[in-house]
Amino acid sequence: MPHRARRRSNLWTNVNMSDVPFWLYVVAFLLVLGPLVFVHEYGHYIVGRWCGVKAETFSIGFGRRIVGWRDRRGTEWKIGWLPLGGYVQFAGDRDAVSQPDAEWQNLPDAERLQSFPAQPVWKRALIVAAGPFTNFIFAILILAGFAALSGVPTNPPVVGSVIAGSAADEAGLRPGDRIVAVDGRSMDRFMDIPMAVAHRPGETMDIRFARGGSEQTIRLTPRAVKEQDRFGNVFERGLIGIGPGEVVFEKVPLLEAPLVATRQTGQIIRQTWEVLGQLLTGNRSIKDMSGLVKIAQVSGEAASLGAQQLVFLAALISINLGFINLLPLPMLDGGHLLFYGYEALRRRPASLEVQEWAFRFGFAAIVTLMLVVTFNDLASIGVWDGIARLIG
């Protein structure tokens, strides 16, 4: 036993973790994921209530119940021991992923009318879509708060400096040039430029800029630059080699802040969509995908910097959670919406056999994805290298 304990200690000594205490990773992870899961599931729940559907179970986490209670509407609220998600199970659902119970049509009339499968397709679609969109709304509220209280950078998209030998320098950009568009995407603020470029190293793009009253278009390729943050994490991003002038932060009026936050959310969704396209086309390695272990790591690191950084991280994860759930993959909300779209067009639902096979495919795909991202996460913190060193 002493020998085995010593080997385990050596393994974790070799893992590339920061000086953040382990307990903070756990606490920060729960502080981020718990509220985001609640927000997502509450979106389903509250819209279901508005549509007259009875929720039988509202669960944060899976597995055996740790604590719980039943409200006056008959809904069981509970917290499960495995805090990796959550679900709302409506009347007529067979399971936590809203597969219809084969016996729902045999329920008494009053109960059947309150069941999920009995609702018209537009109501079911609204209830399902409410979860991801509530995540987006939650993120918008957080980003609006930051915009109103801390401000946002308002520098115009004007080149303040050009790094010698960079892609921008070689393409002919000069200080004072105003970047009008990147690949047809208009640039309103300087910060729009890295949002359009950072995730596209090695991809040639068109840069339209204004100089001396006329506009010109050049083609350049952002260069991949590896950087290291204060925690020792190494990441790569694309840079064209320009900088702004003096960065100016301005607080946004309270009524305008939600509009600014909505725009920021849209930019993040667009960037996430483009990264997904890179993964599907092979232009980005699947090693760049991350999962729950990585979320725990960055949550702990953000928490060590203060509550403000942790809340901002929660907004970013909330946007990604909403986006992922809208993907048209069975078991996810987007998969359900895909079937509802089919039902709306064909005036009848897909056959139970087709839905069952789609469910199996979705389950296999999600399990495979979870294994891949967990493998990547463990590699990113050096677990596999640590094991290799111990074995060697």
pTM over 0.85: yes
Name the β-bridge partners of 392: none
Kindly state whether residue 104 falls inside one of the protein's structural domains: no
Nearby residues of 14 by Cβ (< 8 Å), 6 or more positions away: 382, 385, 386, 389, 390
Least confident of 20-34, 103-117, 199-213, 296-310: 103-117
Exposed/middle/buried for 7, CB within 10 Å: 0-12, 13-18, 19+?
Answer: exposed
Kindly state whether residue 229 falls inside one of the protein's structural domains: yes
Kindly state whether residue 34 falls inside one of the protein's structural domains: no
Structural domain including 225 reads 153-250
State residue 369's pLDDT score: 85
Kindly report the backbone phi and psi dihedral angles of residue 169, in degrees, each rounded to the nearest multiple of 5, phi listed first: -65, -45
> How many whole angstroms separate alpha carbon 185 and alpha carbon 154?
18
Kindly state whether residue 31 falls inside one of the protein's structural domains: no
**DSSP-assigned letters across all residues of 341-383:** HHHHHHSSPPPHHHHHHHHHHHHHHHHHHHHHHHHHHHHHTTH
- Out of 41, 76, 250, 256, which one is annotated catalytic? 41
Count of structural domains, the chain:
1
> How many whole angstroms separate alpha carbon 316 and alpha carbon 323?
11
pLDDT in tens, 34-87: 999 999 999 999 999 999 999 999 999 888 899 999 999 999 999 998 887 899
Kindly state whether residue 204 falls inside one of the protein's structural domains: yes
Kindly state whether residue 191 falls inside one of the protein's structural domains: yes
State residue 8's pLDDT score: 42
Kindly state whether residue 236 falls inside one of the protein's structural domains: yes
Instruction: Provide the CATH number for the domain around residue 185.
Output: 2.30.42.10
Which H or E element spans position 76?
strand 76-90
CB 205 within 8 A of CB 222: yes
Q: Is the backbone of residue 244 left (phi > 0), alpha (psi -120 to 50) or beta? A: beta
41 is catalytic: yes
> How many whole angstroms separate alpha carbon 355 and alpha carbon 364?
14
